[in-house]
Each structure stands twice: as C-alpha cells, then as structure tokens.
Structure 1
Amino acid sequence: MTEKWLVGVDLGGTTTKMAFLTEDGDIVHKWEIGTDISNKGENIVRHIAQSLEDTLHRLGESKERLLAIGIGAPGPVQRETGMLYEAVNLGWKNYPLKERLERETSLPVAVDNDANIAALGEMWKGAGNGARDLICVTLGTGVGGGVIANGQIVHGVNGAGGEIGHMTLVAKGGAPCNCGKTGCLETIASATGIVRIAKEKLSQWDKPTLLRGETITAKAVFDAAKANDELALAIVDEVMFYLGLALANAANVSNPEKIVIGGGVSKAGNILVERVGAYFRRFAFPRVAEGATIALATLGNDAGVIGGAWLAKTSLHI
C-alpha cells in the first residue's frame, strides 16, 4: 500500500515554507515559495494550492497521496472555524483561511498560530523530546510564544493564549511595542529590542568596547559578550534578566517539563541558556524550577512544517 503524506505549511510575511511528511513526522520533501502580500494577500491561498499541485507533478505523485494540511499563520486564530482574526503582515482581517484553503485544495485543513505550530513541532520531533508540558518561545524580529499543557496547545478564549512576547516587563517608561502597548518582552528580548538597548547604552558608554564603530546587531552583541566585552555583557545581562523573569512567570502558571528557546537570537547558544537559566531559577517558584529544563530549539526552520503535520494529524484525527 502506498504511504500517505501529511502537508505542513508555515505561512510567513515574506516566505511560505511547505513540506510533505510521513505520518510519523519525517520530512519527505520540503520547499518554499514567496508570500505575495499584494492586494491584501488575496493571492496567497491560491499560490499555496498551485504550489502543492506543481510539486506533486514534479515528484511524479498524485493528490491521492495527501491526507490533510496543517497550516500555521502569523496571528490569533479561531481554532474551530480556522479563521484568522488578523494578520497585519499579510493584510488579512477576519480571514476564513481554513475554508478558503479547503476549497482551493479539496483537502481537510487545520489552522493554528505560527508560534503554536513551531511549539508543536519542537514537542513532537525536536528539543521537547515528547514532553507533554512545554513552553516554546521564539526570539526573532519579534517574540513569539506557544504553551502546551498535557499535549494540547493553550489557545484561550479568543486565540491569544501563549502570547509571552506581550507580557509587560517594564510597567513604567517602557519602549513602545507593535501591539500598541509599551514595555512588552518583545521590546527587550527580540533582535530589534536588543539592538535598541545596545544603541541606548552605547550612547552613554565612555570606555572602550568592541561594539563601537560596528553595525549593531543582536549577533554582534552576543559575539562581543562571548569575548568578555564589558558593555556587551551588560546588555546581555539586562536582556536575560527580563527574559528569565518572563519565562519564570509563564512557568509558574503552567509548570512545564521543557522550556524551548528558538528563533534567530537563539543562535547565541550556551551563553543564552546559562544566563537566562540563572534568572529563571531566581524568579521561578522552586518546585517549578526543579521540574523545568531549558533547551535550545533543534528544528530551525523546519519546526513550523513539522508542527503543521502534527496539527493536521491530531486535529483531523488521522
């Protein structure tokens, strides 16, 4: 009997990652296409459907091979209907993603938030290592979060569960966030936030530093910290203080077995895990701290498509 495949789709504002996977979560074939956000994203779903058809044809396979699609999208999702409340990067508002993609592909579709499917991917095949209670935080241009309790994503009443990036850490005088609030974790621990803090501190710094005259990036800050640069170490310490505090507060609510840190900033590696771990243990309820292991994400860009396959498999009872 021919092995059936699941389709994982990770829909981003610039590119859309896609993959065919076995029911055990192994990637058979993966590719990506550009995300066409023109005309309020009206072509996105059609392009995904067309790319599926084209890739099947190129591989000499028929659509009969496909079981279902699991897709992650950048915004809060109404889980039952698969409607995206809003995706600013795509130009969508109250967009019936499940309905449209099912119509275009004639396949069953399950939809969730992109950070949630990355968390599911890490739980299933990555650093989560099968842990059923897990927090996943992605540190990139922004800060995304996914919380899994007893194997299930925490969605909340209107799809905004797990928004760790919008936990308020600086109650007074915090930097403005894209969400409309101020002082969010995203304004501190994202790549953008790290650059902002570095520039502020550099402007008041009168000692030698490796960061002066450099293009300031999150990577440059962590590289300088690894070289024991005093200013870079101060910046990293401030960022890790707030990230450790946020993760401790989130963990105190959900008591996870694993806390997985992914996204571009996580490429800093062990320096991040060690320093955030020290603050996490300082701020977490002792019993919570005992139960949790902090680990770097291992799936990289594949987390979303693998999580999408898990979503399709479990939501649609395949």
Structure 2
Amino acid sequence: MKYCFGVDIGGTSVKIGLFCEDGRVIDKWEIKTRTEKEGVNILPDIAASLKKKMEEKKMQKEEIVGIGMGVPAPITEEGIVNGTANLGWGYKNVKEEMEQLTGIYTATGNDANVAALGEMWLGGGRGHKNMIMVTLGTGVGGGIIINGKILTGEHGAGGEIGHLCVNYDEKEQCGCGSFGCLEQYASATGITRLAKKKLAETSEKTILRNGPVNAKTVFDAVKEGDAVAKDIAAEFGRYLGYALANLAVATDPAVFVIGGGVSKAGKVLLPFVEKPYKERAFFANANTEFALAELGNDAGICGAAKLVLG
C-alpha cells in the first residue's frame, strides 16, 4: 500500500492529512502556523510533523508517493510564490524547499484551487472533470478545474474570480485596490454591505431590524419568508449569477460548487444564484448544475492529496 500527505497551509494553522492512494483518510491533524520572522519556520515545522507521523505509523519514505500542498497565495506550477498576504513569505520556491527538507516529491497549488480539486474528487463536484468552485467567505475565492486539472495561469492567479468586475459604477474600493469586484457584493462582508444599504433605503418591516445584520441573519430571515431579506438575497444572487454566466462561456463547466461560510445557509441559497445565471447564460451553458460544497475544512487536504495522486 502507498500513501501520501495532503497539507493545507493557513494563516493560523496548517491542516495535514495522511491518505491512502484510493483517497481514504488514515489520519488528520493540525499544527500552528508560525508566521513570525517572515514565516521561516513554516515549512520546517511541516516537515518535522510529517516525519513524526511517519515514525508513529512506522512508515518508510519509500511508501510515501508524495506531499501535496495548498498555499494561500498565487503560486506557479513550478511551486514559486512571490509574496503572501498572511504568511510573511516574499519570494519562495515552496516545492524545492519542501523536497529538500523531506526528500519526498512535492506538488503545490493555490489553496482555493486545491480546495476545488478536493471537491471535484470527493465532494460536491464528484463525477465531473470540468468545474468551478466559488468560496463565499470573508472574501470570494474560486478554483477552476478543466479536464480534471487546476487552471493555474501564467502567474499562479488563475481562478481569482472574486476580482471579476461586476459593477463599473462602484465608488468604494475593494481590498485588492480596484472597484466593483464581485467580492464586494457576494462575500459575507459584501452581503452585509448590501443588507445595510437596503435597510437604510427602505421603511419596510423586516426582522433584520431586530438584531445583528450579517450574511447568516439575512439567509435566516429568507428562510422565515422575510420580503426584505429576499430582496437582499436576490441582489447578491444577481451579481454572482451574472458573473458565473460570464465565466461559463469561457470555461464551460459541468457544475458550479458553492462553498465557504455563506454556503452554510444551505440549499435555500442556490435558487437566488441559479435564476439570474440562467437569465444570462449562453445557451450551451444553460443547464450547468449547481451544488453545495461537501467537504468543509477537509477540502484543502483532500485536494492537496489529489495533486500528488493525479
């Protein structure tokens, strides 16, 4: 039996999984991400943790086919990072350094893209080879899978769908420095922004005035049949649905998989995105499926393992 490691590097913790070749998870655990001193300890800490696990399981290096790693930054197919927002790294050849530390073949990818690969393999996109994953969290992330492979792009920034421009008249700046990005309307913070704007503009009765206003309370109110909440959800859905229609005409996916914190609202969310998508989709893409992500926090380690297993 052969094995591999799937590693998902986050700004606070590193999630690690030990997998069989058939995708079964043997073990999973976390270690702290030590970002001080420009993140110099991150890869050595991971290497030490993998070595300790191999000793614990009495595994030889020859039994490990590889280490897959998801990194929260644009990363090239050669494993090169040219800066990260929250790890402290500047230029770093992650693949080369990890192989030197462990003596084990290493494959790397952007964390959102890797999570998408995991969902294609074992989650909401199972059974499909062409897929777009949309991660609706604090921001909007994404991953594009074509013929079973991650679309990485020239600079490692393929799949950054949160920064599609969806409103050319927007005056407020996105965190990326541009204006009118999808992230400003379809992320958890974007939905909160839409909700507060709607509440300021309308005098309609709504349960959203009775407590905190955020993405969760908006969709909780939708489930209660609240008309104002439905309007907010419809506006969110238009921005996201139209953006996905534009992506579909370029990549022709079989399925859109929606994950991240906002997706915890459940299936109530999907019709708000599907309806505007179908309004704008090219006829050949009109029947693209929509599904919720299934792997949660394990998507990253699963996709990282798949990088190695092919």
Equivalence map 1:158-177=2 (5 Å):
158-177=155-174
Deviation sequence 1:175-220 (CA, Å, 0-9, x none) = 3222111111111111111112222222333233212242222111
What does 1:210-221 align with in structure 2 at a 5 Å threshold?
A: 210-221=207-218
The answer to whether structure 1 residue 222 and structure 2 residue 219 are counterparts is yes
Question: What is aligned with 1:70?
Answer: 68
Q: Select 2:139's aligned residue among 142, 159, 165.
A: 142
Query: How far did residue 64 of structure 1 move?
Result: 4.2
* TM-aligned CA distance change 1:85 to 1:259, over 3 Å: same
Structure 2 distance, partners of 1:261, 1:223, is: 18
Instruction: Identify which of 234, 240, 243 aligns with 2:240.
Output: 243
Q: CA deviation at 1:114?
A: 0.6
Distance in 1, matches of 2:40 and 2:169, equals: 40
TM-aligned CA deviation for residue 57 of structure 1: 3.4
Contact 1:110 1:312 in 2 (8 A): yes
> What SS does structure 1 have at the residue aligned with 2:207?
coil
Provide the secondary structure at the position in 2 that maps to 1:294. Answer: strand
Code of the aligned partner of 1:24: D
Q: Output the CA distance in 2 between the equivalents of 1:34 and 1:213.
A: 39
Higher deviation after alignment, 54-63 or 221-230: 54-63
Secondary structure of the 2:90 match is strand
Q: Are 1:86 and 2:75 an aligned pair?
A: no
Cα distance between partner residues in 2 of 1:308 and 1:203: 44
Percent identity over paired residues: 47
Q: CA deviation at 1:244?
A: 0.3
Q: Residue 6 of structure 1: SS of its match in structure 2?
A: strand
- The gaps in structure 2 that reach 5 residues or longer are none
The answer to whether the 8 Å contact 2:61/2:104 transfers is: no
Which amino acid counterpart does residue 69 of structure 2 have in structure 1?
Answer: I
d(CA) in 2 for partners of 1:230 and 1:175? 27
CA contact (8 A) 2:139 2:188 kept: yes
Deviation at 1:261, TM superposition (A): 0.8
Distance 1:60 1:214 in 2: 54
Which residue of 300, 303, 306 maps to 1:310? 306
From 183, 186, 190, give the equivalent of 1:189. 186
Q: Which residue of 1 aligns with 2:3?
A: 5
Q: Select between 6-15 and 56-65 the one with higher mean Cα deviation.
A: 56-65
1:277/1:176 CA distance change after superposition, 3 Å: same
Q: Distance in 2 between matches of 1:133 and 1:15?
A: 30
1:114 paired to 2:111? yes
Q: Quote the residue 1:276 is aligned against.
A: 273
1:14-93 correspondence runs (5 A): 14-80=12-78, 82-93=79-90
Q: Kindly provide the CA deviation profile for residues 62-95 of structure 1, in whole angstroms up to 9, marking residues without a partner as x.
A: 4443221010111111112x01122111122222
Identify the residue that residue 179 of structure 1 maps to in structure 2: 176
Q: Deviations over 1:74-129 (max 9, x none)?
A: 1111112x011221111222221112211222211111101111111111111212
Q: Which amino acid is the alignment partner of residue 270 of structure 2?
A: V
**Pairing partner for 2:200 from 203, 207, 211:** 203
| Partner SS state of residue 274, structure 1 | helix
Q: Is the 8 A contact 2:162 2:182 kept in 1?
A: yes
Aligned counterpart for 1:298 among listed residues 291, 294, 299: 294
Q: TM-score, normalised by structure 1?
A: 0.93
Distance in 2 (alpha carbons) for counterparts of 1:106 and 1:199 = 53
Amino acid at match of 1:212: R
Q: Is the 8 A contact 1:116 1:147 kept in 2?
A: yes
Alpha-carbon distance in structure 2 between the residues aligned to 1:27 and 1:262: 21
> 1:174–1:184: 8 Å Cα contact kept in structure 2?
no
Where 1:30 maps in the other structure, the secondary structure is: strand
SS of corresponding position for 1:78: coil
- Partner of 2:104, secondary structure, is coil
Report if aligned partners of 1:135, 1:260 keep a CA contact under 8 Å in 2: yes
Please give the secondary structure, in 2, of the residue aligned with 1:212: helix
Work out the CA distance in 1 between the residues paired with 2:8 and 2:160.
18
Instruction: State the distance in 1 between where 2:202 and 2:59 align.
Output: 61
- Distance in 1, matches of 2:117 and 2:127, equals 10
Provide runs of 4+ in structure 1 moved above 6 Å: none
Q: Determine the C-alpha separation between the residues in 2 that align with 1:208 and 1:181.
A: 35
